[in-house]
Amino acid sequence: MGAEFLPMVFTSGWASGINAYAVVLVLGLADRFFSLGQIPDALARTDVLVLAGVLFVVEMFADKIPYVDSLWDTVHTVVRPAVGATIGYLLGHETAGLDAAVGAATGGITALLSHGVKAGLRAAVNTSPEPASNVVVSTGEDVAVTGVTALAIAHPWWAASIALVLLVAGAYLVYKLLGRVRRFKRSYDAWGERVGIATPSGRLDGRPEPPPTGQTGPTDPARTPRENRRLLRGRDAAGPSPRADERLERPFDQTRDDG
């Protein structure tokens, strides 16, 4: 096992978890034009390069459309780790010992981790109402994968260090963004309970909470059905209170907790 084997496998695995087709293209084209000994010849085959190029173009567009990108990520939950494991295997299969098995395991696990970070980040970004954030994030991913993979050919340890930092930073960012998504959902649920379009969290059966003791709600079993209908018609004719209008116009609390 060479000193540059593991960093090369780790970097290609990380990159495969984000954009597997870009990794195959970068490594394959580098071997095709520069005949590099550390890159498997199988990646430079014409049919492999053509297929990777077509799928790269498809992903380049699908990955920038909100919600389509998450669907694409779901489909590639198996594809990206498989590509990472395959590249790791090819990088080590020509050497003696267990290099092929170690390369396949390292590449596959690393690709799965980076794929999870990418999918989680996209799920959080898709909560944004505008599509520009998806384009920016996707373009940044493409640039990072291409640049780090190309760097790994000449300087595997530098590339592996950058890939590790990006993997850890991405996982932390996903953790912070998913926390904000949960807070957003809680605010939305609280607003829905206030305006009566959501079931209160304490009532799983969908029925409203009973009025406090000594008070009556909009409809009271103690009244006759006719009295209840008359009361409801009177409330509708009077219109919503100013306080209710304010709650409808301001569905979410204006105070934000960015911590």
pLDDT at 255: 45
pLDDT band at 252 (very low <50, low <70, confident <90, very high): very low
Query: What is the per-residue pLDDT across 117-150, written as a single tens digit (0 to 9) for each?
Result: 999 888 888 877 777 888 999 999 999 999 999 9
Cβ contact 225:237 at 8 Å: no
Q: Which helix (H) or strand (E) holds 1?
A: none
Distance CA 17, CA 246 (A): 47
Distance CA 107, CA 167 (A): 14
Largest Cα–Cα separation, the chain: 90
Distance CA 252, CA 233 (A): 29
Residue 192: both structure tokens together: 């829905």
pTM score:
0.71
Distance CA 134, CA 165 (A): 22
Domain extents for the chain?
5-183, 217-251
pLDDT band at 100 (very low <50, low <70, confident <90, very high): very high
Cβ contact 56:22 at 8 Å: yes
pLDDT at 222: 52
Query: What is the per-residue pLDDT across 161-188, written as a single tens digit (0 to 9) for each?
Result: 999 999 999 999 988 887 766 765 676 5
Average pLDDT over every residue of 2-30: 95
pLDDT at 156: 96
Cβ contact 80:107 at 8 Å: no
pLDDT band at 223 (very low <50, low <70, confident <90, very high): low
pLDDT at 183: 66
pLDDT at 155: 96
Q: Is the pLDDT of residue 207 over 90?
A: no
Distance CA 17, CA 78 (A): 10
